[in-house]
Amino acid sequence: MTPRVLSGIQPSGNLHIGNYLGALGNWVKMQHDYESIFCIVDLHAITVYQKPEELRAKVREIAALFLAAGIDPQHSRIVVQSTVAAHSELAWLLTCVTPMGWLERMTQFKAKAAAQESVGDGLFQYPVLMAADILLYQANIVPVGEDQMQHLELARDIAQRFNSLYGETFTMPATRLPLVGARVMGLDDPTAKMSKSATGSGHAVALLDPPATIKKTIMRATTDSNPGVDFETMGPGVQNLLNIFQAFSDWTNDQMKAHFTGMRYGDLKKQVTEMTISKLEPIQKRYAEIVADPGYLEGIIRAGADAVRPTADATVRLVKERMGIYTETA
């Protein structure tokens, strides 16, 4: 049987090159080796307040970006999480087998909660919903950036606990980290991960940023006081710029060293800018074509949900049976 891959992105802001190099770009490369499901996880996005009209628009924008980046709708399923009710249903069933202590250890919860005035319970339960997304489809492989590793471990723990309480039910999902680009850092602060919800210009390059904005953001990126690139002593800002270049170019470490050693930071930034623009321009062009035909996009979203719903419903039915929840017999 072809292994199944599942991953997702929250429509919680503008997709950036971290999302592309850590997730979307890798999905495109690996999709045909698997049965692939890529989700736009709007139920996750609302764990932090989203303006309703912006959220609605972002879901479509991200679906169009998936296609523009190269997700093949003839092969892979693009699923808007909220259109398949089984995600929410399984999340509740799994909540009931998840110890609170496990959730209290999640570093992303601690970081996001610290940034909120009032913390919703949804933010706390976020990793259980993510476990439900994965286990619902009995996914074998989950490609994510480094920041999501802890959540994935938790999904495995939840699956294991359920299996030992109620009998073998869930497939154990494996993580797949990209070799380069697993963690793209903020261009304004290379000690913090590039994030959709971070505010302020200079932090991220969005996939739909025009070339002039990309140039401005990268040319202003934080570096260090060395006179040029030194692979032994470079600080996190320079490392981040090189990491972005390498992830876009697929160059080897030897190629990177031979080309960049001793290069002045102004020239390094110019090259990272040119590389980034050259990779984003074709995506932006395809994006413009896709959004010009809203009916096409709606059709892809509907077809994605229709295709995965039978699997999702079957898993929920099995889980309910195992737990002794009422299920119709006739």
Give yes or no: 112 in active site: yes
What is the 3-class SS of the chain, one letter each residue?
CCCEEEEEECCCCCCEHHHHHHHHHHHHHHHHHCEEEEEECHHHHCCCCCCHHHHHHHHHHHHHHHHHHCCCCCCCEEEEHHHCCHHHHHHHHHHCCCCHHHHHCCHHHHHHHHCCCCCCHHHHHHHHHHHHHHHHCCCCEEECCHHHHHHHHHHHHHHHHHHHHHCCCCCCCEEECCCCCCCCECCCCCCCECCCCCCCCCCCCECCCCHHHHHHHHHCCCCCCCCCCCCCCCCHHHHHHHHHHHHHHCCCHHHHHHHHCCCCHHHHHHHHHHHHHHHHHHHHHHHHHHHCCHHHHHHHHHHHHHHHHHHHHHHHHHHHHHHCCCCCCC
State the nearest-atom distance from the C-beta of 192 to ligand AQP, in Å: 9
Query: Of 58, 196, 215, 279, which residue is the catalytic one?
Result: 196
Binding site for ligand AQP (CB under 6 A): 9-10, 12-13, 18-19, 22-23, 144-145, 147-148, 182-184, 193-197
State the nearest-atom distance from the C-beta of 203 to ligand AQP, in Å: 10
Which residue, 195 or 273, is less far from ligand AQP as judged by CB?
195
Give yes or no: 196 in active site: yes
Which residue, 23 or 319, is less far from ligand AQP as judged by CB?
23
State the nearest-atom distance from the C-beta of 193 to ligand AQP, in Å: 4
State the nearest-atom distance from the C-beta of 257 to ligand AQP, in Å: 23
Which residue, 200 or 295, is less far from ligand AQP as judged by CB?
200
Which residue, 107 or 197, is less far from ligand AQP as judged by CB?
197
Which residue, 28 or 184, is less far from ligand AQP as judged by CB?
184
State the nearest-atom distance from the C-beta of 12 to ligand AQP, in Å: 3
For ligand AQP, the nearest residue by Cβ is 22
Query: Of 58, 193, 269, 279, which residue is the catalytic one?
Result: 193
Catalytic amino acids?
112, 193, 196
